Amino acid sequence: MKLEIKDVHKSFIDNRGKVLPVLEDINLTLQEEEFVALVGPSGCGKSTLLNICAGLLSPARGSVVFTGAEAGREPVSSIVFQDTGLMPWRNVYENIAFGLEAGRGLPKKEWAERIAHYVGLVGLTGFEKAYPHQLSGGMRQRVGIARALVVSPDLLLMDEPFSALDAQTRMIMQEELVALWEKTRLTTLYVTHNIQEAVMLADRVVLLSRRPGKIRQILTIPIPRSEREAPEYSAEIAGFVRVIWEHISKDARAALQEVAENG
């Protein structure tokens, strides 16, 4: 099954009534079991695109379609939100159960086993009764990931999931995500403004330009994901990071110019 983003456009109206184009001409296909990272400077509309794919926002034009799906069963997509979006009044177990409760797909007697599996997978065993406020930022986002995975999604959408974490926790979470992804091999769309992170995680990195966001370039990262930490690839990884940064910094400078001209 693939996710086809076809000719998507989106604009917002600012508080002065001016139309701000946010996304233009977005055409992209996520292949089965592919990890795609969307990278761009802030304000490039990458989160908007993710929201459209998630069915949380309507595109002004164009469509997002699952193709080659099994007939009779609508594909499920799960979102891992930037600020986790955990319910403060539910403990870890209840937060992870949220999707199962809301979706009503799985018989209740199978919940416990399924939840226990994902609790173990993200390393939260023993914390089931804890409330979100009792957990560290990294632990909270693990709950967010478990909550997304427990409904067996066909598509995983991650919206800057680690951007609120400190650098060390972030590194650990990245490594854990690589291991986790190798186990689940879910088609994934991952939004980030961290170039290093995109290169470490993704099969393909999609570069968006700044306002309106257009696809500027798509880079394929040919290094096997689980070996990207290895020293022999560090030069190649650094090369990708540099190429992406060159593109993005060009955009940031162009944006500065734009503001100067308008002012």
Partner 1 sequence: MAEYPVKNKMQSWQRQYPALVSVAAVGVLLLLWEGICRAGLISPLFLPAPTRILAALGAMVADGEIGRSLLASLYRIVMGFLLGGIFGLAVGLVTGTSALADRMVTPLVNALYPIPKIALLPLFILWLGIGELSKVTIIALGVFFPIAMNTYSGVKNVDTLLIKVAVSFKANWWFTMKHVVLPGALPTIFAGFRIAAGTALLLLVAAEMIAAEQGIGALILHYGDLMITERLMAGVIVLSLLGLVFTLGLQRLEQRLVPWRRKNNG
- Give the residue, chosen from 71, 102, 259, 260, that forms a contact with partner 1 under the rule CB under 8 A: 71
Per CB under 8 A, which region of 62-70, 113-121, 186-194, 200-208 contacts partner 1? 62-70
3 beta partners: 30, 66
**Dihedral angle at the C-alpha atoms of 108, 114, 119, 125, nearest 10 degrees?**
80
| 68 sits near partner 1 (criterion: CB under 8 A) | yes
The angle subtended at Cα 87 by Cα 86 and Cα 88, nearest 5°, is 105
86 burial level (CB within 10 Å; 0-12, 13-18, 19+)? buried
CB of 29 to partner 1, least distance (A): 13
Report which residue type is found at 142.
Answer: R
State the CB neighbour count (10 A cutoff) for residue 182.
11
Nearer to partner 1, 41 or 45 (CB): 45
- Give the residue, chosen from 22, 37, 39, 52, that forms a contact with partner 1 under the rule CB under 8 A: 52
Per CB under 8 A, which region of 66-74, 98-106, 140-148, 233-241 contacts partner 1? 66-74
Q: How many residues bind partner 1 (CB under 8 A)?
A: 21
Q: How many CA atoms lie within 13 A of 145 on its CB side?
A: 28
How far apart CA 229 and CA 232 sit, in angstroms, is 9
| 105 sits near partner 1 (criterion: CB under 8 A) | no
Per CB under 8 A, which region of 63-71, 78-86, 126-134, 234-242 contacts partner 1? 63-71
| 241 sits near partner 1 (criterion: CB under 8 A) | no
| 64 sits near partner 1 (criterion: CB under 8 A) | yes
| 60 sits near partner 1 (criterion: CB under 8 A) | no
3-state SS, 3-38, equals EEEEEEEEEEECCCCCEEEEEEEEEEEECCCCEEEE
| 56 sits near partner 1 (criterion: CB under 8 A) | yes
What is the binding site for partner 1 (CB under 8 A)?
3, 52-58, 63-72, 74-75, 77
